Structure 1
């Protein structure tokens, strides 16, 4: 399950972020993009526990937001004419 993490502190690296989420379960993937990140947890119950435990918590001097991501996977455009 994919989680969105907002207000990630400057200078935070992937290993530090993975470490706080690993307390709640298996971290499959972690990507930091500027001041936000996405963490993929192995199981839904682990992801929900991470949200409950980490949302609005202090991390490296910043209050982070942690929520279940509702972003959709982008579909590749189909080549060809309309309606075909």
Structure 2
């Protein structure tokens, strides 16, 4: 059976900037922030997601995210091939 999507909960902790290094894979990613603040960079565009915010993006382009210094951050992440 072909995989349709992958969903998981994710916890982000405040870490060094290097941990937010860009990654990429050939899927679409949906993220819904459940708690905290998350800095997200897609290509050269940066934005901050706050609790309750959600967005989707093409993860085939370089992207990265990291928790902001407001404590622990939690999200629901769905990856769609």
Same fold (TM over 0.5): no
**Higher-RCO chain (CA-CA 8 Å, sequence separation at least 6):** 2
Q: Structure 2 length as normaliser, TM-score?
A: 0.35
| Structure showing greater Rg | 1
Normalized against structure 1, the TM-score is what?
0.34
Task: Kindly indicate which of the two structures has a greater share of residues assigned to strand.
Answer: 2
Considering fraction of residues, name the structure with more helix: 1
